[in-house]
Structures are given as structure tokens and as C-alpha cells.
Amino acid sequence: MTNPSTVPPSRVGTGLRIGVLALQGDFREHLHAMEAAGAAGVSVRRPAELDGLDGLIIPGGESTTIDKLSRAFGLRDPLRQRIRDGLPVYGSCAGMILLADEIADPAKDLAGNPQQTFGGLDITVRRNAFGRQRESFETDLDFKGLDFSATADGVAPVHAVFIRGPWVERVGGGVEVLATVEPSRASHPEALAGTARIVAVRSGKLLATSFHPEVTGEKRVHELFIRMIRGEA
């Protein structure tokens, strides 16, 4: 199942250069999403490739691997600085983990050092919170901020795919919750006793989701990001 997109024929990304961190993960799908929206998609692997970008996407993948490779390629510190300087960034799944200021359960290297993040979002995330690969699931979400896609029937829900996704356990001041998942909608609800889990947040020009809109044909999350870059959302 996919959601109707408002991107064609609007081409809201026309004239923008949007980078996708291309160290590991499903960066190609995000590049395709940007190009479908009319933006110029740019693969980013080195610090110089951050120059001239209007925004950046951090894709799903392995957050620990992306962390290590970003340091090996000399990207981590320049990217952290760009985020502090106000570069709009969208992170999906692993990207959400890498935008978080705090990880509840960080992986550790052989020396016992915890994995690092780029930071920027005043949130605490839990890695692989919804379970392993076999516990991946799909569900429809009420997602705030998509009024631009409204029809006579209202705003259609976002069909979300969760693959070893994180969730947000704490949000700080200035962080807006855009979507949550009820325990009954997850693949193993018995393990999710209590309240709904936060799976999408926004703070200023930083956006993060636990799920992968790039794999379902759902274009509106990317369009929201583009509108954030333009100051229209």
C-alpha cells in the first residue's frame, strides 16, 4: 500500500540541492525521492560535499556503521557543526538515532566506548526498540503537519514500515511529536505495555522518523522536509 503524493505535479523541490549521507544504508531510495520531488539529490561522503546544500537526509541503515564511517571519512565534526549552524536535516530510522542527543542503549566498541551521534535533537532514543528483523511491521499513522496534502476527505494517514526501528523515550523542550504508535499496532504488542511510542518528531528544521517512507512510495514526509527547508512548514 502507498499513499497518494502531492509532489507531482507540484515539484516542490525544484531549485534545491539536497544531500543524502551515502556512507551506508538505503541512501539511493532517498536520492530517488528527492529527484522525484524536483530537487537535485547529492550523495555525500566527504566534508566538501556538504558545501552548497540546502538540506541533508540521513538514511536508514546501521547507526553504528554510519557513525564509524563518518569519523573515518572526516565527516562527523563538519556535519555536527553544520547541524549546529542550522542546516535542515531529516533522519529516518538510523538517521533518527544519529540526530538524537542521547541514546538509551548505545552500542559499544571493543574498547567499551559508546557509539556517537551527530546530535541536534533534544531527544532520547532506544535502538531496535520494536524488535528484530522478523518483528518488522507496517501500520497507518496519523501524522501532524501534512495539511498541505488534505483533500475533501481530510489528510490521509501515513502508511509506515518499521524495520528494526527505534522509538523516542524522551522529548525535550521545543521538540514536537508528530506521530505515535499504539502498542496494539506493533508486531509484538505484549512487549509494549503502557503508552504509545513516539515515532516521529520535529524541532525547528530537524525532522526524524522511526520508519522508512522511502520504501513505500510515501512522498509526503519528504515533501514536509522540503517545505521546512523553504520555510513553508
Q: Which of 214, 218, 222, 223 is catalytic?
A: 214
The reply to whether 169 belongs to the active site is no
Pair 81, 118: CB distance under 8 Å: no
Q: Which of 29, 30, 49, 93 is catalytic?
A: 93
Residue 183: predicted pLDDT: 67
CA atoms of 21 and 50, how far apart (whole Å): 9
The reply to whether 93 belongs to the active site is yes
Series of mean pLDDT values for 10-residue runs along the chain (233 residues): 46 93 94 93 96 96 93 96 97 96 91 92 90 75 94 92 89 96 62 76 97 89 96 91
The reply to whether 214 belongs to the active site is yes
Q: Which of 30, 212, 222, 223 is catalytic?
A: 212
User: What's the angle, vertex CA 128, arms to CA 97 and CA 18, rounded to 5?
Assistant: 35
Residue 7: predicted pLDDT: 42
Residue 4: predicted pLDDT: 46
Residue 10: predicted pLDDT: 55
Residue 186: predicted pLDDT: 59
Q: Which three cell numbers stand for residue 182?
A: 499504539
Phi, psi of 52 (to 5 degrees): 75, 10
**232 pairs with which residues across the strands?**
none
Residue 163: predicted pLDDT: 85
